[in-house]
Structures are given as structure tokens and as C-alpha cells.
Structure 1
Amino acid sequence: MLLKVLKYRFNLGSIRLLSTVALPEQTEPASDKEKNVLNHPDYFGVHRLFTVEDLFIAKVHLGHKEGTLHDNMKGYLYGSRLGHCILDLDKTAEYLRLALNITAHVAYRDGIILFINRSPQNGHMVDKTAIECGEYSHTRFWRSGIFTNSKVQFGAVTRLPDLCIFINTLNTVLDMHPAVKDSAKMSIPTVGIVDTNCNPNLITYPVPGNDDTPSAIELYCKLFKNAILLGKARRKENNHENEKS
């Protein structure tokens, strides 16, 4: 259930209002079957955004050492190689398409999307992705109460995000990012990249995959950005058609 509290967006530290950019062109016109977005299995065509080969080339399948494997991640494994866990990319592709689909739906409904990442080496890439699709990012230290006590934090009743996208669900090597728990407490849906050493239980739409290799992070950012832009472009197109009629 998407949570909306008030009619304006919040702004603190690295959570900031970001400019919108040019939207991608739609390759397929809306048909009669697509008029009801919720009745279509892939209304925005996110399945065309990537292939399993793209995931392999980006090293999405490479997990951490076997000794760091979280019990809840065993079902996502393909096997191991030289002491390192290998993720099943067929499962990753299935979960990633589901995550991209819900992301496009939230963007289509004009929801607020917040990218969250605590990895210093990838923070700039995540911030840039949020700017390019006109959404928000938080890549710094997470202050307690940003979600759970937002009225005090921001000095007014605040609209919280409709979806949080975690490019990395860990705050340190071992500790979960506190925003994961805060999102669950506030019933905010979450998408999260979960590596083999992560716990996917609190993530609404977990995506098993490498969460620290630059090539993998770049691919995730590109895919989520494109999904958001597809949703916004379709909303703009449908609104224009409604105005004409």
C-alpha cells in the first residue's frame, strides 16, 4: 500500500528536489487492451529493457564468499565457484522485471521515488540517476526519524516516498541500512538489490544481485531510470489523449 501524507515533497541534506529531463519516446501506441493499466501484465514493456546476457556481462551473478552467505539467500543461488557464491541469473531476471514493473507503475501514478545507497564509491552515480529521471536520492548518513518522525525532522507534516529503491541494502559490511526497517514500519514499498550476504525479508521487491561492482550498479541505475521515464512518458501521453477527448 502506497503511503501519501501531504501534498508536497520533503527536502533534507541529500534528499532534494531534482529537475526533470526529456522523456523517452514510446515505440508502441496504447491499444484498447492497454487502456486499463492494471489489467496488463507488462503495460510499460519493461521486459525489453534487458536480457540475461546483459546481467552476466555486468557481473550481476557474482556474490560474496561462501562463509558470508545469508540463510535467506540460499534459494537464489545457482552454485559456487572457487569459494564464491554464484547467483541464478534466471531468477534475478524474473525478480528484476517485477521490480522494474512496479517502479514504472509508481512513476505513472505520479508517486515519489527515493533512491537510497550508502556505498561511497557509487553515491555519485545514484545521485546522477535520480537527477536524470526527476526523482530523489539519499546517499549520506541516515538520520533516525526521517520516516518515522518526519513531522519533527522537517518541521511540518510531510509527504513520504511512495517507493524506495535500495541500490545497496547494507549500511556497513554487516549492518542493514536503517531505512529498510523504517520503510517497513511506515508501510512504504521497497525495491532492493540483495547480495548473498544480505537479508531480503524486509524488502517488498527483492532483486538478488551483486551490490558493489561498478558495472552492476551502473546497469541497475540505468534500468530503474528507464523504467521511471517510461512510466512518466506514458502518463503524459495518456493525459494528452484525455485532454483531446
Structure 2
Amino acid sequence: MATTPTRTDTCVLAVTGTADARVRVTSRGGPFRVITLATGGGVARVALVPTRALLLAGDAVEVDCEVGDGLTLQVQETSGTVAYDMRGGSASWSFAARVGVGSRLVLDSLPWVSSEGSQVTRSTTVDLGASATLLARETLVLGRSGERPGALESRTTITRAGRPLLVEELRSDHLAPQRVLDSVLAVGTCREPGAGSPSPLRLETGDRLWRRMGREAHETAAALDPVWSDLVRARRRPPP
């Protein structure tokens, strides 16, 4: 990466309460307006609405998330993120979450687009408590229509009580000549998608990762949208 980002902008998001009482969502800072869409029954559903253009050279965007024990947080993006031409500069983006005992985190992300000329380091880190579950959708698009891909390093680290479950680093040059990588990750949930769904990669823990690569986002989405819908409706796996 050409330069170190200089404008650190951190959004802090927390969900507290109990499954049989009122759930509270608190947030502060960062380049997002956090809108609470619904709460009840130990579940909070929020939307992240950008308040400015993202992502530009010099940006260091951070989202720090905490989910209390026994609660569910569903995070929805309202728009995809475009990393714009940085003209020799660079930027970074990180999402870090701590998910309590018996809790559930659902990350419903819209496509990330690395435009030609962008240089970005992107990371997702989730630490799960005992019997906690994670569902995450991620779509990486390398270059807008007719463009060459931007430079992207994307790192994912999923742990349970500090023990690694999935550690992965992807670079944009790993995906050539394809320009779209669509992924669905299911950790700690045992429901299988409907008949005819694509087969997942199996992690050593038995958790599952579905992947599709292609030239266009709508092509990969057609395969994984049904998988995602089935998993989001599923209840979490009972504790062992």
C-alpha cells in the first residue's frame, strides 16, 4: 500500500439487555448513522447509513461492535461501499465484533467495490463466546464495469474464546481473471439450506463457507441468495 491512512473514524455499536427484557442499542462516532429498525425478544436489527462518501484516500474507517450475552444483532448495510481511485494514496476499513455467550450476529453486507486506482486494507474480526453463532454475507467486486481492479487485501479472522476457527487473507490478484467473489459464512448454526443449494466448504470445526466466483455480481448472487435466506431464518445451534 502506498501510504498510511490518516483520518481514523470509529463507529462504536453495542447491544445490551436480556432476551426476556428490553434490548438497548447504543452507538457513537464514525461515518455512519446507526438506525434501529426493530427490537424485541432479545433481537435488535440495525441499519448502517453512511453520512459521507466512502472510501477515500486517507480514510481509516473502524466499526467496533459488542453483542451482550443471549442477544441477537442483525446488521444491515443500506448501500454498498465503493473504494474510489486514490491517486497513489491508500485507505483501510475494519470491522471488529465481540459476540457474547449464546448470542447471534448476522452481518448482511452489500457489495464492496474496489475501483481502479484504489488501494485498501480491509479486515473483519469476530470473537464468539460459547455457543454463539455468526452468519456473514460478503461480496467483493474488483473494479467497476470496464475498469481494471483496485488493489485490495482482505483479512478475515473468526475465533471462539480466542481460539481460531477461520483465518484467511485474500488479495485482489488472487482472484484474477474473475472479478467477483461472493461468500456466505455460517458458524455455529446447523440448519441446511434447501434442496438444490450449492455445496459448502467444510471447516475443521464443521462450520460452513459457501463461495461463488464470476464476472458479474448478479451471477454469483443467483446461486447464494437462497442459501443466505434459508440460513438467516434458522435458529442457532443448541449448546453442546
TM-score by length of 2: 0.28
Higher strand proportion (structure 1 or 2):
2
TM-score by length of 1: 0.27
Higher helix proportion (structure 1 or 2):
1
Greater relative CO (CA pairs within 8 A, separation 6+): 1
